[in-house]
Structure 1
Amino acid sequence: MKNGLKTGMFSAFDSKTRRALAASISCISIVGIGLSLVIPLLALRLEAAGFPAHDNGLHIAVSGLATLVGAPLTPALARVFGVRPLLFAAIALGAVALLGFAFCDDYRIWLAIRAVFGLSLTVIFVVSEYWISAAAPPAQRGMALGLYATVLAVGFAIGPALLSLTGAKGLLPFLVAAGLVAAAAVPVALAGAEGAVKMEGPGWPNLRAIFTAAPLALAAGLLYGAFETGLNGLLPVFGLRAGFPPAWATFQLTLVAFGNVVFPVPIGMIADRTRKSRLLGVLALCGFAGALALPGFAADRTAYGIALFVWGGIVGGLYTVGLAILAEKFQGARLGAANAAYIMMYSLGMIVGPPALGVGLDLASPRGLFDALALMFMAYLALVVVLTGPFRLQPRPR
């Protein structure tokens, strides 16, 4: 299976690039398995301990705040200490934090541990995504990022399945998650120093310049953070209010996840052959049209399921293409800073998206969830038109 993966998925790359991509994608995907096990595990433990729902929400907010703090610091740390040493340190910190969850019964101390765990994850994601973008040849970068999105989606699907095997009680699930995060160091070590890229560049990167140079890419990160987090939390609620059985209401998320397994590689390959900013507009247009149409399919569960699978996979391409634009526009330390800004925007979407979508669901239940999503996609489409369309804003002549 491993040989097939190497010769199949990575056959378009030379030996050094294959090693770098295999290491960076394997690292982030193993962490993804552990993360997707931990998120529902913590929620279940807090609920079982009798904590109110807003405590669960506070934990999520702490993770988002940790990302907003840690992301802009990560490129400077990677430049000073190196990509691989920083990854090793972040992986070790994440594993220790998970052991802290396991052996500490004070759930309020968990907030501090959650902040530490969030910081470690931020570093791992920023550095790994930089490594993937910097290692991939420019002509095949979209495909490489599509592979990353696909394998990460598989990892996120495995975590909840593991939780069903370990159960949510006792030390075992935390120990399994800690072991998985620690195992992410193995592919980084196997890559060797020659397989890693360097993040070079003087001084602190100018985040304002990055936002100015790639507004559509960063806005795509914001939109996808709101979409993914809001959908994970509220799509089952839509299903219940639409009359779906509880099992089917949850199964909707599986269909969206399968879409994110199937579609990123084809979308990444298209991104390598077309203008990426226009492709973002096409993806957002599909997101807008799908959000308007999907509630109408709900009466026919088969048609609805197929449409949800396709729609979720296409919208997932926003994240991949946004990363590809950043890798196209920036190099070295500026690419690292751009990846950090991207993660920050995604985290901001995690914070603001679910409340906004929840308001839509309450105002016009059940289709209000999709109406609110349609408004988000429409706002993004307006930004695409303003920045790339025939009436786009032109820079003022000097």
Structure 2
Amino acid sequence: MHVATANTGVLFDSRQRRGIIAAIGAITAVGLSLSASLPLLALTLSYKGIPEGMIGLNTAFAGVAAIMATPLCAPLARRFGTPQALLGAVIVSGLSLPLFFFAEQFWMWFPLRILFHGSTCVAFVLSEFWINALAPQARRGMIMGIYATVLSAGLASGPIMLALVGTTGPTPFFLAGALILVATLPIAYGYNAQPDMEEKSSGGFLSFLWIAPMATLAGFVFGAVESSALSLLPLYGLGIGFPAATAALLVTAMTAGSLLLQIPLGMLADRLDRRLILLGCAAIGSIGALLMVPASETGYTVFALLFVWGGIITGLYTIGLTHLGARFSGADLASANAAFVLMYSVGLIVGPALSGFAMKSLDKHGLPLLFAALLGAYLVICLIRTICLRLR
């Protein structure tokens, strides 16, 4: 296994600076458009009279596309170069999004989902690899925290764009597609800031699920919890007695914590064992989810709790990526990043299904209880892994 040893300095050289700025700028533009396109596509299908079950099936193909695309990321980066492969993915994503507007037959939306979300997935994996590969070892956590913060800001801005331009007609499709293509500009800025990737990966990308389980499982748990929370927290708010407008703000409280706490967590990861921070995020996240039950009975205390809880659980993503970057390099890091995103994508599919069942079976508090169970199970696995490593 190729272990990362480069980039141990604190200061950035020109190549590192250009590459990191380019990757963060590119994925921010993609993230903004993606967060606008997800509700836009669902609403468009609804306007066409497509039943909700079929809309859900079509939306699930985003996860299918990610599962299909992740094995291709490392070979594409090795064959064409990371900036070059990222540029191609961004162009395919930006050009394919407006095609949804012209797809009159519902069946056309399925291959378009594969094309659009598959290329977007490749863009995310390659951007994260590019950042991780060039980040100085001593500041890797801080850099990944900045990445997570800027990406969260981009993701939060997409719905605002829809509110300004509307959700009907060709305008939102072409605008979102154009914003994705804007990502080609920062990629051009860092086009020659190629991360090192001369050797082939020492194993298939799925092997990294076993080689680095604490990091890759962090991607799965965060994907499951985040997607469930974003989708179902408003329903949970209604269940505990908030009016609809107030219940929707539960998501705002959680995302605000995600936005503001990643840089501090990343800086902490530059000073402490990242595995211990993952353990801490899981433990605090599980306890915080349990505390939602009594907090929901005390008025608006649950908003403050969700702010802290949202930031902590997002740390699973930030610190998980940081841990991979500190451990692997080159083709191994690209494959590990792909495995991480694969697990995150599986979580996106599994989480909402489990959460819907929990809310139906366990009444109004089923959602936080499921969150506590998922995070608690991850904590137990991490503890077992840590003990086994220390007994070797």
State whether residues 361 and 368 of structure 1, in contact with CA within 8 Å, keep that contact through their aligned partners in structure 2. yes
Aligned residues: 383
- The correspondence of residues 307-386 of structure 1 with structure 2, limited to 5 A, is 307-386=305-384
- The correspondence of residues 1-398 of structure 1 with structure 2, limited to 5 A, is 13-193=12-192, 195-202=193-200, 205-389=203-387, 394=391
State whether residues 201 and 331 of structure 2, in contact with CA within 8 Å, keep that contact through their aligned partners in structure 1. no
Cα distance in 1 for partners of 2:341, 2:38 equals: 18
Report the alpha carbon displacement of residue 105 of structure 1 after superposing the two structures with TM. Answer: 2.2
My pick for the range that moved more, 71-80 or 248-257, is 248-257
State whether residues 241 and 366 of structure 1, in contact with CA within 8 Å, keep that contact through their aligned partners in structure 2. yes
State whether residues 217 and 325 of structure 1, in contact with CA within 8 Å, keep that contact through their aligned partners in structure 2. yes
1:71-94 per-position Cα deviation (integer Å, ceiling 9, x unaligned): 011101110011111111111110
Report the alpha carbon displacement of residue 186 of structure 1 after superposing the two structures with TM. Answer: 0.5
Query: With structure 2 as the length reference, what TM-score do the two structures score?
Result: 0.94
Report the alpha carbon displacement of residue 18 of structure 1 after superposing the two structures with TM. Answer: 2.2
My pick for the range that moved more, 254-263 or 99-108, is 99-108
State whether residues 82 and 198 of structure 1, in contact with CA within 8 Å, keep that contact through their aligned partners in structure 2. no
Cα distance in 2 for partners of 1:267, 1:123 equals: 26
Report the alpha carbon displacement of residue 108 of structure 1 after superposing the two structures with TM. Answer: 2.4
Seen in structure 2, the aligned counterparts of structure 1 residues 282 and 93 have a Cα distance that, compared at 3 Å, is same
Cα distance in 1 for partners of 2:299, 2:30 equals: 34
Seen in structure 2, the aligned counterparts of structure 1 residues 57 and 12 have a Cα distance that, compared at 3 Å, is farther
1:259-309 per-position Cα deviation (integer Å, ceiling 9, x unaligned): 111011000111111111111010000111110001221234432111111
Aligned residue identity for 1:182: L
State whether residues 63 and 118 of structure 1, in contact with CA within 8 Å, keep that contact through their aligned partners in structure 2. yes
Aligned residue identity for 1:331: S
1:164-204 per-position Cα deviation (integer Å, ceiling 9, x unaligned): 011110000001100010001100001231x2324221367
Residue of structure 1 in register with 2:5 after alignment: none
SS state of the match for residue 263, structure 1? helix
Seen in structure 2, the aligned counterparts of structure 1 residues 203 and 379 have a Cα distance that, compared at 3 Å, is closer
Cα distance in 1 for partners of 2:379, 2:86 equals: 36
Aligned residue identity for 2:195: V
Aligned residue identity for 1:162: M
Seen in structure 2, the aligned counterparts of structure 1 residues 54 and 204 have a Cα distance that, compared at 3 Å, is farther
Cα distance in 2 for partners of 1:257, 1:143 equals: 19
Give aligned-pair identity as a percent: 39
My pick for the range that moved more, 171-180 or 297-306, is 297-306
Cα distance in 2 for partners of 1:216, 1:199 equals: 24
1:121-152 per-position Cα deviation (integer Å, ceiling 9, x unaligned): 11101100000000100111111000000000
My pick for the range that moved more, 237-246 or 31-40, is 237-246
State whether residues 64 and 351 of structure 1, in contact with CA within 8 Å, keep that contact through their aligned partners in structure 2. yes
Aligned residue identity for 2:161: L
Cα distance in 2 for partners of 1:260, 1:142 equals: 15
Aligned residue identity for 1:270: L
1:296-335 per-position Cα deviation (integer Å, ceiling 9, x unaligned): 2123443211111111011110001100111111110010
Residue of structure 1 in register with 2:7 after alignment: none
State whether residues 33 and 159 of structure 1, in contact with CA within 8 Å, keep that contact through their aligned partners in structure 2. yes
Aligned residue identity for 2:112: I
Query: With structure 1 as the length reference, what TM-score do the two structures score?
Result: 0.93
SS state of the match for residue 190, structure 2? helix
Report the alpha carbon displacement of residue 241 of structure 1 after superposing the two structures with TM. Answer: 1.4
Seen in structure 2, the aligned counterparts of structure 1 residues 208 and 68 have a Cα distance that, compared at 3 Å, is closer
My pick for the range that moved more, 350-359 or 149-158, is 350-359
SS state of the match for residue 291, structure 2? helix
Aligned residue identity for 1:266: P
SS state of the match for residue 106, structure 2? coil
My pick for the range that moved more, 19-28 or 45-54, is 45-54
Aligned residue identity for 1:53: E
State whether residues 67 and 118 of structure 1, in contact with CA within 8 Å, keep that contact through their aligned partners in structure 2. yes
Cα distance in 2 for partners of 1:208, 1:94 equals: 25
1:205-239 per-position Cα deviation (integer Å, ceiling 9, x unaligned): 43354223211001100100101111111111111
Report the alpha carbon displacement of residue 46 of structure 1 after superposing the two structures with TM. Answer: 1.5
State whether residues 205 and 333 of structure 1, in contact with CA within 8 Å, keep that contact through their aligned partners in structure 2. no
1:362-395 per-position Cα deviation (integer Å, ceiling 9, x unaligned): 1122111000111111101110110113x66855
Cα distance in 2 for partners of 1:274, 1:204 equals: 28
State whether residues 67 and 119 of structure 1, in contact with CA within 8 Å, keep that contact through their aligned partners in structure 2. yes
CA RMSD of aligned residues (A): 1.6
Aligned residue identity for 1:309: F
Aligned residue identity for 1:311: W
